[in-house]
Structure 1
Amino acid sequence: MKNLFSVVIAACLAFATAGASASGISDIGVNGYWGGDGHGYNDVIGNSTYDIQGATITRVGSILTVTIATNFAGHAGTQPGSAPGGIGYGDVFLSKIWNPFGTDSHHANDNAANGTLWNYGMSLDNRWSNTGGDFKLYKLNGATNAANIYNSEKFMTCDIGSECYYRNGQATAVNRGSSTVADTGLTGKWSVTTDQELRFVINIASSDLMNFASFAMHWGETCQNDVIEGAVSMVPTPGSIPLIALGLGALLFWRHRQVTAE
């Protein structure tokens, strides 16, 4: 009986201390993020291949997962005439606070120069891979985004306005050669589900991301033809007291049945 009691308590505490939390960002509808420099195309420049529907951010214990629902999943390398290697996957940017420019619901004038200062970047090992791979987590220490990142113009070679349109001025990739960018030593895995989603998973145990009560994020293709930005709060799952109470209740019920049977 004593051993069983200990097992139940340990199991309850394990679930409780896992710190599971999750929240989502929608990129559709009246509150969907557009971002600036869209050249009159509003949400999505080009065809629906670039469309982003939303994202979820979950943290279970020290495991952080960012999942992005997008039609572009599995289509890196498209439009090779507009950029070397074609259009690829951008890096994921994170911050504790979301501070977009403007008060309109779509933040239609927000960009890397006037919006959120990103604190971390998940830099992909091969942004043209349609099977996924590894990424490194970098701390972005510069006072401006320009000190830490590359915008979409770094990747696109077509003449905007005459040969192509893309969303310029948007945070696209970590500038790993910048003196204000530091490798945290942490690596994660990213994966692709064609036509559905991109998923980024990393253990952040030794990072101050563990202390974030909320996350702001930014992601788009290297052309940034669609961009998702927003912020989520980490809402915890039920805590230890309800879980322990549930476990003890079940244990007492089982014990009562045992005594009755005797």
Structure 2
Amino acid sequence: MKHAILAAAALLAFAGPAQAGVISDTGAGAYWGGNDHRYGDVIGGAMFDITGATVTLDGSMLTIRIATAFAGHAGTATYAGPKGIGYGDVFLGASWNPAGTDAHHTGDKAANGTKWAYGLNLDDRWNNQGGSFSLYELNGATNAYNILNSESFMKCTLGSQCYYRNGQATAVKTTSSTVRQTGHTGTWTVTRDQGLLFNIDVRGTALAGYGDMALHWGQTCQNDVIEGITDVPEPASPVLIGLALAALALRRRARA
């Protein structure tokens, strides 16, 4: 019976809150992507810095946290466009295939990098409180069919009026026939100077079964980009939970 009790405790421990997978955007392995125009990790100053992201899949509830100093500063740099710089959409996939073998993948762009499978399309990317978003499947053969790049949002002339990371995936091309609204919506919130939080129930989509999750996010200028892949541990299965509960029931009977 002692062994049954120990097994129950271990199984119930696995049935606790899902662990968060982490993608870091600092240090020697930070993703820069192309084209950095010789600025390195961050173009245009510390306000655009992204330091990391965590991904949690608890059952079918997907939570993504992105740590960035840009949180709360959408609308800045109106020279870039009438609304200024906003928040980009989040792109997700089951695998990560960046171009180049260098640590920062400085040649990686939407045109030659990871083919993204899903996009979280923000309702109002200039809202500094947050709002809602829609989950889209990206079914085109390449990103070009499914995604708008940073140059679709930046109206200043690259190289003379401004610099930004061009060629990077920025928003779902919702007008494309190759993208499909899944019917799933979620919410996002902004904590000023700290980060963005996204929550959505992905039940019935392929995302719910992902063991690994690749992610891409940046501002509409993509002055800094976070991209990478992390393991997303799954909570214990109902079978394991059932075994744990059965072991605990046997313990109660032994005491009776």
> TM above 0.5, one fold?
yes
Alignment of 1:233-252 (within 5 A): 233-236=231-234, 241=240, 245=244, 248=247, 252=251
Q: Which residue of 1 aligns with 2:26?
A: 28
Q: Identity rate of aligned residues, in percent?
A: 56
Structure 1 or 2, whichever has the larger Rg, is 1
Matched residue SS, 1:81:
helix
Amino acid of the structure 2 residue aligned with 1:211: G
Q: Is the 8 A contact 2:57 2:234 kept in 1?
A: no
Between the aligned partners of 2:59 and 2:230, the Cα distance in structure 1 is 17
Q: 1:126 to 1:100 in 2, by over 3 A?
A: same
Matched residue SS, 1:209:
helix
77-86 or 63-72: bigger deviation: 77-86
Post-superposition, which runs of at least 4 consecutive aligned residues in structure 1 deviate over 4 A? 237-251, 253-256
Report the aligned-residue RMSD. 2.5
Between the aligned partners of 2:51 and 2:253, the Cα distance in structure 1 is 47
Amino acid of the structure 2 residue aligned with 1:234: V
Q: Which residue of 2 aligns with 1:6?
A: none
1:253 Cα offset (Å): 7.9
Alignment of 1:166-185 (within 5 A): 166-185=164-183
Between the aligned partners of 1:203 and 1:237, the Cα distance in structure 2 is 15
Amino acid of the structure 2 residue aligned with 1:230: G
Between the aligned partners of 1:111 and 1:47, the Cα distance in structure 2 is 21
Matched residues, number: 246
Q: Which runs of 5+ in 2 are unaligned?
A: 1-7
TM-score if structure 2 supplies the norm length?
Answer: 0.89
Q: Which runs of 5+ in 1 are unaligned?
A: 1-8
Query: Aligned match of 1:149 in 135, 147, 150?
Result: 147
Q: Is the 8 A contact 1:67 1:197 kept in 2?
A: yes
Between the aligned partners of 2:66 and 2:208, the Cα distance in structure 1 is 21
Q: Is the 8 A contact 2:99 2:108 kept in 1?
A: yes
Between the aligned partners of 1:137 and 1:97, the Cα distance in structure 2 is 18
1:208 Cα offset (Å): 1.3
Q: 1:248 to 1:228 in 2, by over 3 A?
A: same
Alignment of 1:108-127 (within 5 A): 108-127=106-125
1:252 Cα offset (Å): 3.6
Q: Is the 8 A contact 1:101 1:115 kept in 2?
A: yes
Amino acid of the structure 2 residue aligned with 1:231: I
